[in-house]
Amino acid sequence: MQATLPTIPEMLAAAKGRPLLSFEFSPPKDDAGQDLLHATILELDQLNPDFVSVTYGASGSTRDRTLGATQFIKKRVGPQTIGHLTCASQSSDDLRDVVRGYAEVGVNHVLAIRGDMPGGPKAPWVRHPEGLDNATELVRLVKEVDPAFVVGVAAFPDGHPDKHDLALDARLMLAKQEAGAEFAITQLFFDPAAYVRLRSTLDAIGCTLPVIAGVMPVTSLGQIERLAEMSGAPLPEAMVARLQAVGDDPQAVRQVGVDLAVEFCQALLDEGVPGLHYFTFNRARATREIVARLADS
């Protein structure tokens, strides 16, 4: 039987200035993707992450594969595991079933986010007729199903793409905390100053949620537009210029992308970020390089 693991809030409290290390994985689309995911999980486990998370597709479209990936992690490797949960296009009963499904495979941490509609980030939000309207309601639902669950939420250093209203975002974060959330992980962002601004805004209204920074290197020019859409904000001009300066050499683009990610992470560490959460897209190489270089710095 696996020993009881400390919760993420317990790890944050005990870290004493050491930033937590964590990775995000995505459920596979097919058998080949499953083999790649399992290999990546096992490879990155060698870095001794404090926790890992598994995403959850729009409308619960990857529900079974998400649960399968979390079950693999619980059986094969050691870190605390977070299952994502979105309320897009699902009834409240569907969501309660997912929470119970996580509990059945030994997962008691959830990242509760509203999520995007099946049409993508720009599709208008439509509440399911028997569902929930936002992440605050989702936090409450998880806690109602099982008060022992530890619930994290998303944070938006560049502002939520729907409104781009940082003051509103801060008030919503406080509401999530009051509903039972205990930590936050940022969505994609690329300017360390945005993290500092977010933290100051939260501090000003008494929101004390620890905010772990989400990290992903840009390793190809083709990612620039897609990542800007995912993050809801354009990538910094200086960052894009450095990538485009070597745009005719894919290997050089990749190296510059890793360099930029190391600089980004180091700036966040200098600001006392409580953790770095790497969006791996089920690949290990770039993440391993960044972690190794930060350890040597």
Q: Say whether 271 is catalytic.
A: no
- Reported confidence tier of residue 229, pLDDT bands at 50, 70, 90: confident
Q: What is the pTM of this model?
A: 0.94
Question: Which listed residue (10, 24, 43, 225) is catalytic?
Answer: 24
Mean pLDDT estimate for the chain: 92
Token code pair at residue 280: 């791996």
Q: Say which residues have a Cβ less than 8 Å from residue 220's Cβ, sequence separation at least 6.
A: 250, 253, 254, 257
pLDDT at 4: 84
- Reported confidence tier of residue 181, pLDDT bands at 50, 70, 90: very high
- Reported confidence tier of residue 59, pLDDT bands at 50, 70, 90: low
Give per-residue pLDDT as tens, 18-30. Answer: 999 999 999 888 8
Q: Does 121 or 185 have the greater pLDDT score?
A: 185
Give per-residue pLDDT as tens, 69-103. Answer: 988 998 899 899 999 999 988 999 999 999 999 99
Give per-residue pLDDT as tens, 117-173. Answer: 777 777 788 889 999 999 999 999 999 999 999 999 999 999 888 777 899 999 999
Q: Say which residues have a Cβ less than 8 Å from residue 269's Cβ, sequence separation at least 6.
A: 19, 276, 294
* Domains delineated in the chain: 19-296 (3.20.20.220)
pLDDT at 3: 60
Residue 294 CB burial class (10 angstroms; 0-12, 13-18, ≥19): middle
